[in-house]
């Protein structure tokens, strides 16, 4: 590789590194991943009405509306009650339900608090009163937090008796049409594929774990050797990293499915701490290699804890078997596509730079040390519920 090629490749890799750091800062400065769960159900007693339930995280409402009046970090029921009308106006103004040319008027019916695996949620109850009988084909336009959080998503479920349809909506995919009586499972599957892809690309901790596995993929270190040597061919190295990432996918799919179906439940702080610790260990293995062979087994083992972290994204799903299969299957496929996209993007660049000191020292060693440091900060914050001011720009809450 000539000097000019090395400089160009180095600039490209530096740009990617800066993009990753900016992404992590952006995630940190906002707040934890933002999800809400919207359920619309037909009313047997009133054919003109849909019953609505909208679970919205209190942390997200506070971020948008400042409902923590005394700024003590603990949002009480009294503070929620004090902002009840503000919450109703803000949320319902960002939801539209129509169908077959009919419009449905959204009327608040009360609020309560519920606890999900990732914290407390405000449950907004409402009715959607339509001009005539509720049509079978419902159009939902969803713009909650679109003005403050481009990464927010809403998991929308429509129930008509025993029939269910669903979709995932967000600022860049704000509307959908649902028919619970003749649900489009393919459309639901595709919706969750898209959601799984974005979940990987927006999940900086999962991304750093993948980076930790990817960085040494174009180098080889045999037992007894103290220095990394470049691999000779791209294809075998590419197959090896795909095997590693796929093993990670298989294991996290197992625990994701078990957790969403309710068979496995661990405290959120324990899962998130375990994810952070897995990143620390993966990054340190690049600096002080203990595992040189069959790294796919390591990825497979760590995938189980990451799957419990992914489960938080689907924790609100309560669907019949067909709808659940479409949602879980689509999400898992999307996660795999998201991971392999990262590999396809970075692997050729890493291969071009593998012989340079810039890559072996600047990217592999320094990059792994930075990843380990960031992840260790995450571990301390998550395991002991403390804030480290010096890392406040880099560490998500």
Q: Where are the alpha helices (DSSP H) in the chain?
A: 3-30, 58-65, 77-82, 84-92, 185-202, 204-214, 234-260, 268-287, 295-311, 321-353, 357, 366-384
Helix intervals (H) in 83-225: 84-92, 185-202, 204-214
Digit-by-digit pLDDT tens for the chain (397 residues) are 454 544 544 454 454 444 444 444 343 333 356 889 999 999 888 888 999 999 999 999 999 999 999 988 889 999 999 999 999 999 999 999 998 778 899 999 999 999 887 789 999 999 999 888 887 789 999 999 998 988 899 999 999 887 888 889 988 889 999 987 777 888 889 988 988 898 888 788 888 999 999 999 999 875 555 667 899 999 999 998 999 999 999 999 999 889 888 888 888 889 989 999 999 999 999 998 887 778 888 899 999 999 988 887 776 666 777 778 888 899 999 999 999 999 999 999 999 999 999 999 999 999 999 999 999 988 998 888 887 765 544 554 4
* Residue ranges covered by each domain of the chain: 3-30+194-391, 36-183
In the chain the first and final C-alpha atoms are separated, in Å, by 42
**Phi and psi torsions of 14, nearest 5°:** -65, -40
pTM tops 0.85: no
């Amino acid at each position: 590789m000539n000097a000019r090629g090395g400089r160009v490749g180095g600039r490209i890799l530096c740009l990617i590194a800066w993009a990753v750091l900016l992404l992590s800062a952006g995630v940190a400065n906002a707040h934890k991943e933002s999800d809400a769960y919207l359920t619309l159900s037909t009313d047997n007693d009133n054919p003109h009405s849909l019953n609505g339930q909208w679970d919205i995280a209190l942390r997200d409402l506070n971020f948008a509306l400042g409902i923590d009046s005394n700024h003590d970090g603990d949002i009480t029921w009294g503070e929620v009650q004090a902002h009840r009308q503000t919450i109703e106006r803000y949320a319902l103004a960002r939801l539209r339900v129509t169908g077959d040319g009919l419009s449905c008027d959204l009327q608040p019916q009360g609020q309560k608090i519920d606890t999900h695996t990732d914290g407390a949620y405000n449950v907004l109850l409402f009715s959607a009163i339509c001009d005539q009988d509720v049509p079978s084909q419902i159009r939902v336009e969803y713009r909650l937090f679109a003005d403050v959080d481009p990464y927010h998503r809403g998991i929308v479920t429509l129930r008509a008796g025993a029939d269910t349809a669903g979709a995932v909506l967000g600022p860049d995919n704000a509307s959908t049409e649902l028919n619970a009586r003749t649900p489009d499972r393919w459309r639901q599957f595709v919706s969750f594929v898209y959601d799984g892809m974005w979940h990987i690309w927006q999940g900086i901790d999962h991304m750093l774990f993948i980076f930790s596995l990817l960085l040494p993929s174009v180098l080889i270190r045999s037992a007894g050797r103290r220095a990394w040597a470049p691999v000779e061919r791209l294809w075998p190295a590419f197959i090896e990293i795909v095997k590693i990432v796929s093993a990670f996918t298989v294991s996290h799919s197992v625990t994701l499915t078990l957790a969403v179906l309710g068979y496995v439940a661990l405290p959120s702080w324990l899962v998130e701490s375990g994810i952070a610790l897995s990143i620390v260990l993966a990054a340190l293995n690049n600096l002080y290699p203990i595992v040189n062979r069959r790294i796919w087994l390591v990825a497979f083992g760590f995938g189980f804890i990451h799957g419990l972290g992914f489960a938080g994204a689907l924790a609100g799903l309560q669907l019949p078997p067909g709808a659940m299969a479409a949602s879980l299957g689509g999400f898992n496929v999307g996660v795999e596509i998201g991971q392999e996209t990262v590999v396809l993007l970075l692997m050729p660049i890493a291969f071009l730079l593998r012989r340079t000191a810039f890559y072996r020292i600047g990217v592999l060693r320094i990059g792994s040390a930075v990843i380990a440091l960031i992840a260790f900060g995450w571990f301390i914050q998550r395991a002991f519920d403390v804030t480290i001011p010096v890392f406040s720009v880099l560490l998500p809450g």
